[in-house]
Amino acid sequence: MNLAPYAVTAANSRGRQIAETPPSGRTEFQRDRDRIIHSGAFRRLEYKTQVFVNHEGDLFRTRLTHSMEVAQIARSITRRLHLNEDLAEAISLAHDLGHTPFGHAGQDALNACMQAHGGFEHNLQSLRVVDVLEQHYAEFDGLNLCFETREGILKHCSQAAAAQLGEVGERFLQSRRPSLEAQIANLADAIAYNNHDVDDGLRSGLITLEQLADVPLVQQHILQVRQLYPDLPTRRVVHETVRRMINTLVADLIQQSQANIAAQSLTCLDDVRAAPPLIAFSADIFAQHQALKQFLRINMYHHYQVERMSHKAHRIISDLFTVFMENRNLLPPQFQPQVDHARAVADYIAGMTDRYAIREHRRIFEVT
Ligand code: MG
């Protein structure tokens, strides 16, 4: 397929930190995607969650299925915009590799523990996983991914952290943009989680279809589905609603982004970096998307049952952090001989799955 002149390609890529022979039979970015899929951190995504804890139910999204949904959405959008689908897929599959166990609660807890030691931020950790922590290759630490994949994984970053990161941090200091493929992966993430959280929220009973009547993005589709299929069972109403929501958001994002790109007369990748963010929703859909996000924050992420689980997650993470800080001999040997002990503890905890963290807590704190 012909890519747009401002798409990322192997020819305009800044390449890998350690030079390698070009792959045969696949593109550089397919190679990145394949390395990500074969990483240990990727396999652990199956047992990490965003809102629910892994053992709460087999039907809920895990970070693995979330990442696959993000990749699906990002690929659809990049293909329509004649951009590099392989790159968007690689970024999407890697974007959550640095997440702690127990979703948002785990991240907050580990960040609080790490306050005196430089903090903990999951985007930076995702980059650290692919740059340093995966240790399987003979010739380098990490996965030695292309610059554009690494840049896409690091979607947010403080100025202070950016200054320590070399070329991948530069854009935050110069307020330049990442590739369009990275911008797409970022918004595909938001589309995926808003919609699957509605689906999981309804399935779990934390939220109801009636509550969602006040959320325009959802309501218009519920009404449409009920009108078309008056006797449809609720489960199917939910799926028909969610797929329409995703379609609406994706179609709007493509249309608005096409208009934004056309208005800039881009000729090369460097023009993308100098332009304002071009991958965007229309103002109306953005407002609806934000309203849904707000609804989920209030009604789902702060639902008392979720808060109880978050409370436990905080407890588990901070207990583990404290005990490993006090006694490094309790750490598995590969995490012991580090100069920066706090960072080694954070790496160990962040790499845990939900169930591993629960078991580790039990092994250390329970007598029997
Ligand atoms: Mg995500």
Topology of domain 28-307, per CATH? Hypothetical protein af1432 (1.10.3210)
Cα 96 to ligand 1 centre (Å)? 5
The SS3 call for residue 361 is: helix
What is the band of 50 on the pLDDT scale with cuts at 50, 70, 90? Answer: confident
pTM of the complete model: 0.95
| Overall average pLDDT of the 300-304 stretch | 87
48 CA to centre of ligand 1 in angstroms: 12
CA 355 to ligand 1 centroid distance, Å: 20
Domain chopping of the chain, boundaries: 28-307
Cα–ligand 1 centroid distance for 186 (angstroms)? 8
Ligand 1 centroid from CA 52, angstroms: 14
- Ligand 1 midpoint to CA 193 (Å): 7
Give CA–CA dist 39/37, Å, rounded. 6
Q: How far apart are CA 168 and CA 151, in angstroms?
A: 6
SS (H, E, C) 41-94: HHHHHHHCCCCCCHHHCCCCCCHHHHHHHHHHHHHHHHHHCCCCHHHHHHHHHH
CA of 167 to the centre of ligand 1 (A): 24
For residue 247, report the distance from its CA to the centre of ligand 1, in Å: 19
DSSP 218-236: HHHHHHHHHHH-TT--HHH
How far, in Å, is the centroid of ligand 1 from the Cα of 114?
22
Name 16's bridge partners: 146
For the CA atoms of the chain, what is the radius of gyration?
21
| Amino acid 57: pLDDT | 59
pLDDT single digits (tens) 10-29: 999 999 999 999 999 999 99
Residue 136 has pLDDT above 70, yes or no: yes
The pLDDT tens digits of the residues spanning 335-353 come to 877 688 999 999 999 999 9
pLDDT, the chain, mean: 93
**Residues 89-102: b if buried by 16+ CB within 10 A, e if exposed:** bbbbbbbbbbbbbb
- Each residue's pLDDT tens digit, 226-284: 999 999 999 999 999 999 999 999 999 999 999 999 999 899 999 999 999 999 999 99
Q: Which helix (H) or strand (E) holds 314?
A: helix 304-326
Q: What is the pLDDT of residue 80?
A: 97
- Give the percent of the chain with pLDDT over 90: 81
Length of the chain: 368
pLDDT score recorded for residue 59 = 59
Per-residue pLDDT averaged across 184-199, rounded? 94
pLDDT tens per residue across span 59-74: 577 899 999 999 999 9
Q: Please say if the pLDDT value at position 54 is more than 60.
A: no
Residue 237 CA to ligand 1 center (angstroms) comes to: 25
Residue 301 pLDDT level (bands cut at 50, 70, 90): confident
Q: How far is the CA of 251 from the centre of ligand 1 (A)?
A: 20
